[in-house]
Amino acid sequence: MDESVLWPDTIRNTVKTGPDREVLTVYPYRSACPKSVWRSLITNATSTIVLAGYTNYFLWLEHPNFATVLKRKAEQGCRIRFLVGDPDSEVTRRREQVEAVPLTVSTRIRITLAELDPLKNLSGIEARFGDEHIALSVFQFDDEMLVTPHLANLVGHDSPMLHLKRRQDDGLYDRFTYHANELWQHGRDIWNNEPTTT
């Protein structure tokens, strides 16, 4: 007799069979995710990297030679997209008041912009401004993804994070991919600073 008939609750509680099978790991804090997970996801991505964090500031701090890695990835055919908040927007100003930390949101964004500037003429690397993802960061690496819903007045590293892997149509992975794509479509090109429609 099948084990799921004999012990259906036990099987259901230990083996993921529904939409939650896309959830690989849950971290109560983004900072609790080992750097080795990020490194592995970045290293193994071959087609798509989407970095849709409002500041993306921590990436430059925690990953040595990050710009060199991105340049190499782009040269190998990986499409890399950065979506960051506008440092001069009202959304950013309000968030700075909420967080009330010395290293302001706009400063963290400007650090990312400075790090991105040498990459602006590389084919395969794009960057846009968008303010609608202030409360949700999505980091996509081919068929895996890290998602951080930002809590109340906490900064990103103090908010929880989900590690997802695509395993079905219209699951969590696809839903967050839709979210990131919509934000990208309505973003403004950072280097041309003009509205985009594609």
In this structure, the number of other CB atoms found within 10 A of the CB of residue 163 comes to 18
Look-up of token digits 């799921």: 4
Give pLDDT tens digits along the chain (198 positions).
Answer: 555 565 565 555 555 566 688 999 999 998 899 999 999 999 999 999 999 999 999 999 999 899 999 999 999 999 999 999 999 999 999 988 888 888 999 999 999 999 999 999 999 999 999 988 788 999 999 999 999 998 876 676 788 999 999 999 999 999 999 999 999 999 999 998 544 444
Read off the DSSP letter of residue 188: E
**Whether the model pTM is above 0.75:** yes
In this structure, the number of other CB atoms found within 10 A of the CB of residue 85 comes to 24
CA distance 81 to 171: 22
Query: Is the Cα dihedral 32, 36, 39, 41 positive or negative?
Result: negative
